[in-house]
Structure 1
Amino acid sequence: MDANTIYAVVDIETTGTNVAEGNRIIQFGCVLVQNGAIINHFNTDVNPQTSIPQSIQALTGITEAQVKRAPLFDDVAGSIYSLLSDTVFVAHNVNFDFPFVNAELERVGYPTLNIQAIDTVTLSQILLPTVPSYRLHDLTQYLNITHNHPHSANDDALVTGQLLIVLFQRMLKLPIITLQQMVAEDADLPQNTADVFKWGLAEVRKHPGSLPDFMYVSNGLALRKTPVLTSTDDRDYTYPRTKKNKLKRFPKHFEWRADQAKMMNLIYRQYTDQDTADQPLIVEAPTGTGKTLGYALPMAYLAQKYDKQVVIATDTVLLQNQLMTQTMPLLERMLPFETHAEVVKGNGHYLDLSRFKVSLSQADHSKQTQLIKLRLLVWLTQTTTGDLDELHFKNEPPYLDGVYHHGLDDLSETDPFYEDDFLRRLYKRLAYSRFIIVNHAFLIQHAALLGDNFNRPYLVVDEAQHLADYALKTQRQKFDFQVSLATARRLMDQLNPENEYGLTVATQGMAINDQLNTVYRWLIEFHRQLRALSDYLISRFKDQFGGKFSTAYKEIVISEDDWTAFLEQRSGLFEQLDILVGKFQTQLSDITATFYKQSNRWLKSDEELFMRFSHALTALTDAWQTLIAIRRAPQHEQAGGGSYLYWLTISSDLSHIMVASNLMTVAGFLSQRVYDHFQAPTFTGATLFSSNRSQYLYDQLDLDRSSVKMRRLKSDFDFKTQAKLYMTNDAPDIRDDEAYNQYVSETLIKTLTRINRPTLVLFNSLSAIEAAYESLTEAIHPRERLILAQGISGSKDKLIKRFMDEDNAVLLGAASFWEGIDLPQEKLQLLIIARLPFDSPDQLETRVQYARMKAEGKNPFYNLSLPKATLRLRQGIGRLIRTRQDYGAVIVLDSRLVTRHYGQTILKTLPASLPTMAGQVPQLLSDITKFFKKHKSNGHDG
């Protein structure tokens, strides 16, 4: 490759994926790119002399009639061979297109093309590292490239050519040092794709320029500068109480929402009135209220007025990012003063620059790891946060375990990237930030840090119905004796003086060697004592596990008294192990400092050995901290910090034991461990109450009902005309799983073949989804309706993307699909609920919670199961109507909503104006058909 190379950008449409099985090209498109411009193009339909599968016709729009009079591949092979000779072949997934074209050429008597080939998927992943999706159509949308006819070879080749030009432009703007590191990585990329960066480096070296002002180089890495924040404006500003004053501040064409304005004023009055400022506030703001701006605007004025900060805690990392990218920019436009927001996540979300730099010197044969390293090198020239979520990894790759941040406590001033460290810079910026956006898990784990460092800031808990769940999850701890013993043995092997490939041999004769030998002796003692502790634990509770095991492992709940007694009996052994772990932590810090001071003395293999040792010892000490947390749980309980459950898991051969603890109730926990560090909190969400009289939410939020101000805003959606709820009354007994699952599958087939609307079906388990998916895909042809299923058809993001790309797809989901997904306008018109969302009573934690409530004289069903299921059902139904323009129908297949008394209790929590109908499936389907005929839509119902 050189500056004058001609790139032949090719796309083909085929009858299938395998030439050997008789699949053929039905369309060929090619554009030629040279010197950053498209210089020519060629495209043709091809008669495959075989049938085109219906699925291919539906995907591409290419019919058998269209290609019937097209030339055979034999007729155009010469033109194609001549066109591609002496070029570099380019395709979006080159490992499909290039071999396929060569196979077709060879089939008709031409030699295979012996030319270079490169892949734009891989180049896009590297040079556009923060793009959420690398499908061609998604990339063109991201880059604003017009793509009118996806899956047309001519149009796909054209936009791929335009994409290639953009990618080359991006590459040639990279710093020389970044390109040098990318080339040095010698990554195994598809075909000759890696050679692109060699050419890019050579081009940049011909015309070297200075780094742009927004970049700098530190310790061999090109980084982007982080904006410096200054102190905030301390002038007084008047809050816009009236509609007139609000409209002055609102952007032009901003939709006025009366309840949003009420929410704003309610929150502002709450904290400016001395009588209510110390009183928690709960605001249920239905979908469509605009609740995020509803609390953000008054909080901005309050923070400015009283010189405080606002911590916003929301449910997930995704919602954190939405607040930062959607709500905060809008808020800044509406305020007469400057404000600044920062998203703060757990340590593991951020890149550790030192660990990453060391990893670059380590040879890795994993293609995935090589690709990630290249992506990270480019991303470092773009990111100011170091937040790895910007890279949209679908499944967290193992490589990230070695490069994510371990926290500020792990950061030494001797670290070569101390001044550049992303986490350190983030926490410095927080002092100048009005809004600190965290998720629930972070809030619970770091409430003291946030509250104490920022002088008891305001706290808004969004999606508050989830806070208790996160409190329970974050306090769930498990210590596996066998894993820690294995880690200790691995470390002992690395430090064994007789291991010629070990770390102590590599450091022989140096000062660091004595420190490593000391750690080696301590590890031997740690392993001996931990093994003894494991044996004592097994012996102490052996009788409670009973006789013969029916499974490989068995779980038993142990009482707090038994656990506390064991801790006291073995307190001396625990103390000795605590001392050893403390020594490990101190010595590792000293050894690391010594190692980096002498970094010029080490070989790459030595660095790799040291990193393995450091990671393993850190993992061992981190695991021990978990056991410390389990041991401290009784102390928290006695201090009013919640009620804990303790259990043991043991293998059938009694050789492998795990101990765990879990917070069972938030009573006393949230109030003391979280709320005490802030001003009186505001809690909000679209679906908070299971009924006006229910105590459930107050219990879940650890609040005294008598001291809380509560307000439920009304939805202004017109449910009477926008939606209708249908309930079957002919379902079999829910306890007969086989009969009920068959009923669900049969009803879904009847419904989906008659009602041709984009449909979401909600289940309570993945096993139920699998059973329904199998029945549906047998009964409904893919060309009629696309059936997507959680756990089968891809990740959640991929499922939602594919669902929205289709006009009448069916999406089967469980768990997280009941809430938190936003399918606007006509993208969802029919919602089917397969079963009322009650928790399984067989789960260990559920059984214990039920037992605890019974002991307190409470009915577990009415105090826990029913309100929890009611809220979840409200959340599920909330997926359907998200705007004033939406419309749709809900079908509940579970007849308990009609036949059980508590069904009426559930129905009373739904909007009063929502029309309902109960009946047998044929009656319901007939009425649903009439309902959709009243609404303009693209659907074609049977």
Structure 2
Amino acid sequence: MDKFVVVDLETTGHAPKKGDKIIEVGIVLIQGGQIVDQFKSFVNPEQPIPAFITQLTSITDDDVKGAPLFTEIADTIISMCEGAYFVAHHAEFDLGFLNHAVQDARGFTLQMPVIDTVELARIFMPQAPGYKLSQLSDYLHMKHSNPHRALSDATVTGEIFIQLLHKGKQLPYETIDQLMRLQGKLKSDMGDIFQSWLNEKAFAIEERSDLEIVRGLALKRVEDDAEVNEDSMELSTEGFAPFLEEVLRPGGQLEQTLHTFEERPGQREMATTIYDAYQSQQHGLVEAETGTGKSLAYLLPSIYEAITTKSSVMISTYTTQLQTQLLDKEIPMLQQALPCSFRSALLKGKQHYLSLQKFEYELFSTYLDNYDIVLTKCMILVWLTETTTGDVDEIQLPSSGAIFWRKISAEAEGYPNPKSPWFMKSFYQRAKKQAEKAHIVITNHSLLCTDIIHQYGLVQSYPKVIIDEAHHLEKVAAKHFGLKLDYVSLQYLLNGMGGNNPGEWMHSLLTANTHIALKVSIRKWDGCIQSIKEEADDLFRYLFTYVSKQRDANISFNDVGRYQYRYEPAKESSRVWSTVKEMAGRLTFQLKDAITMLEQCKQGIHTQEDSEETSKWLEDIQMYVDRIRDTIDAMYYLLVDEGEPLVKWIELEAQGAKNAVFLYSEPIEVGPLLKEAFFEHKESVVLTSATLTMNESFAFMLERLGLSKEETIQRKIASPFNYNEQVQLLVPNDFPSIKGHNQEDFIHATCEAIYSLATLTKGRMLVLFTSYEMLKKTYYVMKEFMDIDEFMLIAQGVSSGSRTRLIKNFQAFDHAILFGTSSFWEGVDIPGDDLTSLVIVRLPFQPPNHPVYQAKAEKIKGQEKNPFMALSLPNAVIRFKQGFGRLIRSSTDRGLVFVCDDRLMKAKYGKYFIQSIPKVPVHYASTHDILQKAEQWL
């Protein structure tokens, strides 16, 4: 069947059963791989169109007033659908709505095979950045002239569908064969289409030269790295200063390559400072304000140092966004511009890379597969024909797919087995080899800290390291030096091992190695796993009940609304904690039983012939033994041990399951640990960020990281932007106090100010909160008193989607206001006219009862210092600087910063905030007056 009708409907809402109606139909007919016919019509819904639908589609009541009723066009639509596949973007919605209307008009429903282009795009284009129609049309460089109009959407969907079919048809026989095996659990009826492709390919002689087939899997062929002419890696300059001059001067190498390149004095100063740190083998702190161009400023001395000393420099970032920017933009530009060749590589943690060995095993184990897992398998099969890295960050997995990934990542392999047929194809091993050969190795803080703590040796070979986004290093290191234990992860571990059900790991182990059954009874194993689950459930429920009853100062809320309770085993109720220890002991005993049985399995397999199969089982067993031991250790240190100087806390969701409990611990001071495990082993570590100082001083950051002023080079690089002309800082003096029971009044005043300011700036506003609770309350108050179509309100935690998705949605609307907390204070880059005002609702002080802050404050008090001045204020100032930095991202940006918290002007410590940001005009007056000032300035 080679006929496809692509349908898009605009409707009054999402629920036909509740009376929602079709207001516009768009259909395109595809035959022979091209659009051959089309149909469009408004439909009279015989009811008013809601305002938000008109705002979205621009279809008004007047447009549909004289339009035909659905019953008048039903036969035309039915006729077009005869003998065709039904194709739509979110087919379930369009077909469901259409069938409801056809049933009402003609008394029957359309029965036809269905293809959902969202699902098909996920499978055939696994590396697309998103699967909305607009995202796919951008990705495929298609013109989408009239979004949210039926015929325009149907046409674009049809064009995307044609491309998807074309791409699917190019896949190798092996990949299509695997997809055919999985397609029964997909939403789209692709069986006949896959079969026709297989029939065509069965007799084809030509094979794709860019692919290789290994054990039935089609993989992108990766050529061995070509030998590089080492002479091209020589630098003929007389030193770093002449090299830097030749690269950065007007008309120099960078300007010749990148015609928009502008010389920045701060960039030159920063590059020279870093090179000096390398030469003197000192550590350095460099604060580079927005616009400095810090990426190039640290890449240039690092490349020069690596080439001239024939060594490597490691660069660690906090966000994948910055990693991508370095790899896709800055490094290729320098490889083109510089008079020498250099190699670069990206190295991430094992959990980022696909294990082909694990994927092969899971691909054929389909007993427990749900829809998301089948979809994930299909995506990965196609992705394997495209990827050379196997890095999960390249693809957009569905929600359950992210959990499935843990089973098939390189981390799940345990120890590498050189005898495995997959060892030479390992994505992780390849990434490690490339890193060993590279001059510049880019990694992330998480892998850096994992390696420091576990001493895997990845970081040891790099004597010089750049830490970008360095204000995050303490937080990431604390997390890695600490421990975590939770019920969900323990359940995941137990379910991964499984029991006596076909398709589960333990069943497969005993079935493949029948002789072990003499040593390990499956019934005994099942009993042990069941006991572990019951003991764990009892323990975590007991902790949930205990924390729920606490009403003291140790309870706080984090920014996603979880309860946090700081506990100290020695100071808790002795009756309660002796019960906790007893329960933890019983659980430990059961876990040790499981280890004993796994060790017996291992001994039984050791007696077998050495083969690929036995190696795989031994690897798996050892991995599970190690994970159970880690769980036992974590439980001991978190619940039993009282000697370690750690801060420990419990988190639970007030509305969550009664066993959804999370236990955490962190060292109170990370600095000494970092110094001993990291800084003392490096020739030179340069830490850089836009926010490292408070009041022109690096003292706070030096102390937190365990460094001394005498052993480090410190430099503050000013921004090239003219903040005095580009920004106005507005602080109202008439806001109600938030103390006591006045929060509602404060929120109402905030909403009025946001609304008035947004009216001046036509939206384009980011509002930063310190509390998720206040964000939600403000959002709903704004919704109440604002006209529905005035501004598009987008709020973290309320509107669905990731941070990146929310920012893209914000930029897509002309009049939008974006509410954010926590992660929105930094890393949000919205340049130009998309963002013209920033509202900071409260100064970003950590809650005084936050577990980690509380423990650090107690330690500082014990040293006879003031915790507010030594800890709380510097943290808040650095956070404030990050928030302030969201507004001006280029030399042409202009905007307003409105701070609702008048402590900025009234409190003695307010000057530290103002002195730590660039000099800008500050207006402190009534809300009415400063808004007038803003209007004049705009």
TM-score bin (small chain): 0.7 to 0.9
Deviation at 1:665, TM superposition (A): 1.1
Q: Is the partner of 1:665 in helix, strand or coil?
A: coil
Q: Which residue of the partner structure matches residue 780 of structure 1?
A: 786
The more displaced of 247-256 and 303-312 is: 247-256
Does the C-alpha gap of structure 1 residues 582 and 466 become closer, same or farther in structure 2, counting only changes over 3 Å? Answer: same
Does the C-alpha gap of structure 1 residues 284 and 513 become closer, same or farther in structure 2, counting only changes over 3 Å? Answer: same
Please, what TM-score do these two structures have when normalized by structure 2?
0.85
The CA distance in 1 between the partners of 2:868 and 2:607, in whole Å, is 60
Deviation at 1:340, TM superposition (A): 2.6
Q: Which residue of the partner structure matches residue 348 of structure 1?
A: 351
Deviation at 1:156, TM superposition (A): 1.4
Q: Which residue of the partner structure matches residue 675 of structure 2?
A: 671
Q: Deviations over 1:372-404 (max 9, x none)?
A: 111111111111111112113374633223222
Q: Which residue of the partner structure matches residue 560 of structure 2?
A: none
Q: Which residue of the partner structure matches residue 847 of structure 1?
A: 854
1:859 and 2:863 are equivalent in the alignment: no
Q: Which residue of the partner structure matches residue 938 of structure 1?
A: none
Q: Deviations over 1:698-734 (max 9, x none)?
A: 1122211122111111111121221100012222333
For 1:911, which of 906, 915, 918 is the aligned residue? 918
Deviation at 1:547, TM superposition (A): 11
Question: What aligned pairs does 1:164-563 form with structure 2 within 5 A after superposition?
Answer: 164-193=161-190, 195-205=192-202, 207=204, 209-210=206-207, 212-229=208-225, 233=230, 235-237=233-235, 238=237, 239=240, 240-241=242-243, 243-246=245-248, 247-250=251-254, 251-263=257-269, 265-267=271-273, 269-271=275-277, 273=279, 277-361=280-364, 362-393=366-397, 395=399, 397-406=402-411, 409-447=414-452, 455-479=461-485, 494=499, 503=507, 506-507=510-511, 510-514=514-518, 516=520, 555-558=566-569
Percentage of pairs with the same residue: 29
Deviation at 1:840, TM superposition (A): 0.4
The CA distance in 1 between the partners of 2:161 and 2:907, in whole Å, is 62
The CA distance in 2 between the partners of 1:451 and 1:279, in whole Å, is 22
Q: Which residue of the partner structure matches residue 822 of structure 1?
A: 829
Does the C-alpha gap of structure 1 residues 908 and 583 become closer, same or farther in structure 2, counting only changes over 3 Å? Answer: same
Does the C-alpha gap of structure 1 residues 408 and 177 become closer, same or farther in structure 2, counting only changes over 3 Å? Answer: closer
Q: Deviations over 1:236-289 (max 9, x none)?
A: 21355454543432113132132354145414641564xxx2111222111111
Does the C-alpha gap of structure 1 residues 633 and 130 become closer, same or farther in structure 2, counting only changes over 3 Å? Answer: farther
Q: Does the CA contact (< 8 Å) of 1:308 and 1:458 recur in 2?
A: no
Q: Which residue of the partner structure matches residue 35 of structure 1?
A: 32
Q: What amino acid maps onto 2:694 in structure 1? A: S
Q: Which residue of the partner structure matches residue 747 of structure 2?
A: 741
Does the C-alpha gap of structure 1 residues 79 and 381 become closer, same or farther in structure 2, counting only changes over 3 Å? Answer: same
Does the C-alpha gap of structure 1 residues 825 and 549 become closer, same or farther in structure 2, counting only changes over 3 Å? Answer: closer
Q: Which residue of the partner structure matches residue 51 of structure 2?
A: 54
Does the C-alpha gap of structure 1 residues 508 and 197 become closer, same or farther in structure 2, counting only changes over 3 Å? Answer: closer
For 1:898, which of 897, 905, 913 is the aligned residue? 905
Q: What amino acid maps onto 1:460 in structure 2? A: I
The CA distance in 1 between the partners of 2:512 and 2:462, in whole Å, is 52
The more displaced of 242-251 and 826-835 is: 242-251
Q: Is the partner of 2:684 in helix, strand or coil?
A: coil
The CA distance in 2 between the partners of 1:706 and 1:52, in whole Å, is 70
The more displaced of 14-23 and 95-104 is: 14-23
Q: Is the partner of 2:311 in helix, strand or coil?
A: coil
Does the C-alpha gap of structure 1 residues 439 and 48 become closer, same or farther in structure 2, counting only changes over 3 Å? Answer: same
Q: Which residue of the partner structure matches residue 705 of structure 1?
A: 709
The CA distance in 1 between the partners of 2:227 and 2:96, in whole Å, is 60
Q: Does the CA contact (< 8 Å) of 1:28 and 1:153 recur in 2?
A: yes
The CA distance in 2 between the partners of 1:874 and 1:594, in whole Å, is 63
Deviation at 1:336, TM superposition (A): 2.6
Q: Is the partner of 1:724 in helix, strand or coil?
A: strand
Name structure 2 gaps, 5 residues minimum. 556-562, 654-658
Q: Is the partner of 1:676 in helix, strand or coil?
A: helix
Q: Which residue of the partner structure matches residue 936 of structure 1?
A: none
Q: Which residue of the partner structure matches residue 869 of structure 1?
A: 876
Q: Does the CA contact (< 8 Å) of 2:840 and 2:898 recur in 1?
A: yes
Does the C-alpha gap of structure 1 residues 407 and 675 become closer, same or farther in structure 2, counting only changes over 3 Å? Answer: farther
Q: Does the CA contact (< 8 Å) of 1:241 and 1:265 recur in 2?
A: no
The CA distance in 2 between the partners of 1:656 and 1:92, in whole Å, is 36
Deviation at 1:14, TM superposition (A): 2.0
Q: Does the CA contact (< 8 Å) of 2:274 and 2:284 recur in 1?
A: no
1:923 and 2:926 are equivalent in the alignment: no
Deviation at 1:756, TM superposition (A): 2.4
The more displaced of 875-884 and 196-205 is: 196-205
Q: Deviations over 1:401-443 (max 9, x none)?
A: 3222226752323434222222122212221122221111211
Does the C-alpha gap of structure 1 residues 656 and 218 become closer, same or farther in structure 2, counting only changes over 3 Å? Answer: closer
Does the C-alpha gap of structure 1 residues 555 and 458 become closer, same or farther in structure 2, counting only changes over 3 Å? Answer: closer
1:695 and 2:699 are equivalent in the alignment: yes
Q: Deviations over 1:608-640 (max 9, x none)?
A: x999988765541332354588799999x8xxx
The CA distance in 1 between the partners of 2:695 and 2:373, in whole Å, is 51
1:117 and 2:114 are equivalent in the alignment: yes
Q: Is the partner of 1:106 in helix, strand or coil?
A: helix
Corresponding residue pairs, total:
894
For 1:150, which of 138, 147, 150 is the aligned residue? 147
The CA distance in 2 between the partners of 1:600 and 1:473, in whole Å, is 37
Q: What amino acid maps onto 2:374 in structure 1? A: Q
Does the C-alpha gap of structure 1 residues 271 and 91 become closer, same or farther in structure 2, counting only changes over 3 Å? Answer: same
Q: Which residue of the partner structure matches residue 559 of structure 2?
A: none
The CA distance in 1 between the partners of 2:134 and 2:793, in whole Å, is 21
The CA distance in 2 between the partners of 1:483 and 1:54, in whole Å, is 45
Deviation at 1:328, TM superposition (A): 2.0
Name structure 1 gaps, 5 residues minimum. 536-540, 602-606, 638-642, 933-942
Does the C-alpha gap of structure 1 residues 584 and 463 become closer, same or farther in structure 2, counting only changes over 3 Å? Answer: farther
Q: Which residue of the partner structure matches residue 935 of structure 1?
A: none
Deviation at 1:844, TM superposition (A): 1.9
Q: Is the partner of 2:234 in helix, strand or coil?
A: coil
Does the C-alpha gap of structure 1 residues 35 and 892 become closer, same or farther in structure 2, counting only changes over 3 Å? Answer: same
Q: Which residue of the partner structure matches residue 835 of structure 1?
A: 842
For 1:128, which of 125, 130, 134 is the aligned residue? 125
Deviation at 1:669, TM superposition (A): 1.4
1:756 and 2:759 are equivalent in the alignment: no
The more displaced of 442-451 and 335-344 is: 442-451
Q: Which residue of the partner structure matches residue 765 of structure 1?
A: 771
Q: Is the partner of 1:811 in helix, strand or coil?
A: strand
Deviation at 1:63, TM superposition (A): 2.5
Q: Which residue of the partner structure matches residue 79 of structure 2?
A: 82
Deviation at 1:825, TM superposition (A): 0.6
The CA distance in 2 between the partners of 1:699 and 1:7, in whole Å, is 67
Deviation at 1:123, TM superposition (A): 0.3
Q: Does the CA contact (< 8 Å) of 2:420 and 2:612 recur in 1?
A: no
Deviation at 1:650, TM superposition (A): 13
Does the C-alpha gap of structure 1 residues 323 and 587 become closer, same or farther in structure 2, counting only changes over 3 Å? Answer: farther
The CA distance in 2 between the partners of 1:151 and 1:487, in whole Å, is 42
Q: Does the CA contact (< 8 Å) of 1:519 and 1:587 recur in 2?
A: no
Please, what TM-score do these two structures have when normalized by structure 1?
0.85
The CA distance in 1 between the partners of 2:200 and 2:498, in whole Å, is 48
Deviation at 1:746, TM superposition (A): 4.0
The CA distance in 1 between the partners of 2:38 and 2:529, in whole Å, is 73
Q: Does the CA contact (< 8 Å) of 1:267 and 1:295 recur in 2?
A: no
1:883 and 2:869 are equivalent in the alignment: no
Q: Is the partner of 1:797 in helix, strand or coil?
A: helix
Q: What amino acid maps onto 1:622 in structure 2? A: D
Q: Is the partner of 1:125 in helix, strand or coil?
A: helix
